[in-house]
Amino acid sequence: MKNLWLFLVRYNAFFWFVLFFVFSVFLVVQNNNYQRSAFVNSSNVIVGTFYENVNSWKEYLSLRDINQQLADENALLRKKLQNFLPTDSTASTDIHLTDSISEERYDFIVASVVNNSINQKSNFITIDKGTSDGIEPDMGVITSNGIVGTVLNVSQHFSTIKSLLHPDTKISVTLDSTTTAFGSLVWGSNTDSRYAMVRDIPNHVKVHIGAPVFTSGYSTKFPKGIKVGHIVQTDLASGESFKDIRVLLTTNFINLNHVYIVKDKMSTEKLELEQHNKDNG
């Protein structure tokens, strides 16, 4: 007993330290949400990982049961479908979702490229559809994996497209699908048809190399969320509070065959509405 007392006295600094330190950490965990959640989470990670491991082994043992269950469920669904089909033979078999805004707003007209250039300072594309197919100037042109440009002039059977590889083309883009940062996509001072620039991204926006760039949907030319390209270079300053970004385009301008002309059915409505702003302001 005496020895124990001596031991405690001799190392009293350490024991006081442990007591006070535990008290402090207790206060931290008790009062601070972040640490509390971290505490809970770390324990959850341990428990969760353990269960995950156990489960991955247990799964094999019950595969036969699961297969049986799935087969039963399939049989049941098939039976229901069988009951369902004859009574409903007049209706069309596929179901339409009536989301008029996203489904019906845009029409896409397929066209073939008949003339294309990529090596000029201002590049144009000619396609084999014109006014007789409903094409009008200022419509957007896309391809299956990116954007191409905007319609410039239209004749009855042909149209010319001001390609993205043209100094006057400006397309509103966002840096991610959550649309937090906007910029305008331009070809820039490039000579390479694979790269373009996004101008006027605010400096505070975090940009990651390899991140995709999408159309913003602010103009009537392009639907929202078409992938334009991937970021390859971010450290190009354009001004004090804006930066430029170099983008590797997903569109392959070199062998462009089929393009889609985007027809926005609500463009007149939108433009008319926006015209009122100009009239009043």
Partner 1 sequence: MARVFIFNIVRFLILIILQIAVFKNIGYYNIATLFPYILIILLLPTGIPNFFLFLLALLTGLTVDAFYDSIGVHAAACVALAWFRIFFHKITLDVEEQAFQTPSWGNMGFKWFSTYLLLGTLVHHLVLFLTEVFSFQNILHTLASIFFSSLFTVVVILLISLITYNRKSRLAN
Which residues contact partner 1 (rule: CB under 8 A)?
12-14, 16-17, 19-21, 23-32, 34-35, 38-39, 42
Report which secondary-structure segment, H or E, holds 17: helix 12-31
Per the listing, tokens 């078999």 go with 93
Q: How far apart are CA 204 and CA 150, in angstroms?
A: 31
Of 19 and 66, CB closest to partner 1: 19
Of 34 and 60, CB closest to partner 1: 34
Given a contact cutoff of 8 angstroms between Cβ atoms, the answer to whether 109 and 133 are in contact is yes
3-class state of residue 142 by DSSP: strand
Rounded to a whole number of angstroms, the minimum distance from the CB of residue 179 to partner 1 is 27
Give the pair of three-digit tokens for residue 44: 């959850």
Rounded to a whole number of angstroms, the minimum distance from the CB of residue 46 to partner 1 is 14
Q: What 8-state DSSP symbol labels residue 152?
A: E
Of 40 and 266, CB closest to partner 1: 40
The CA dihedral of 107, 147, 102, 98, to the nearest 10 degrees, is: 50
Report which secondary-structure segment, H or E, holds 163: strand 159-163
- Residue 187 gets the label, from left (phi > 0), alpha (psi -120 to 50) or beta, of alpha
Of 32 and 268, CB closest to partner 1: 32
Rounded to a whole number of angstroms, the minimum distance from the CB of residue 49 to partner 1 is 16
Rounded to a whole number of angstroms, the minimum distance from the CB of residue 26 to partner 1 is 7
Of 10 and 58, CB closest to partner 1: 10
Rounded to a whole number of angstroms, the minimum distance from the CB of residue 207 to partner 1 is 19
Of 25 and 110, CB closest to partner 1: 25
Phi, psi of 279 (to 5 degrees): -65, -40
Rounded to a whole number of angstroms, the minimum distance from the CB of residue 119 to partner 1 is 47
Of 5 and 34, CB closest to partner 1: 34
∠ CA 234-236-237, nearest 5°, is: 125
Q: How far apart are CA 165 and CA 55, in angstroms?
A: 54
Q: How far apart are CA 126 and CA 116, in angstroms?
A: 6
Rounded to a whole number of angstroms, the minimum distance from the CB of residue 42 to partner 1 is 8
Give the pair of three-digit tokens for residue 182: 């906007």
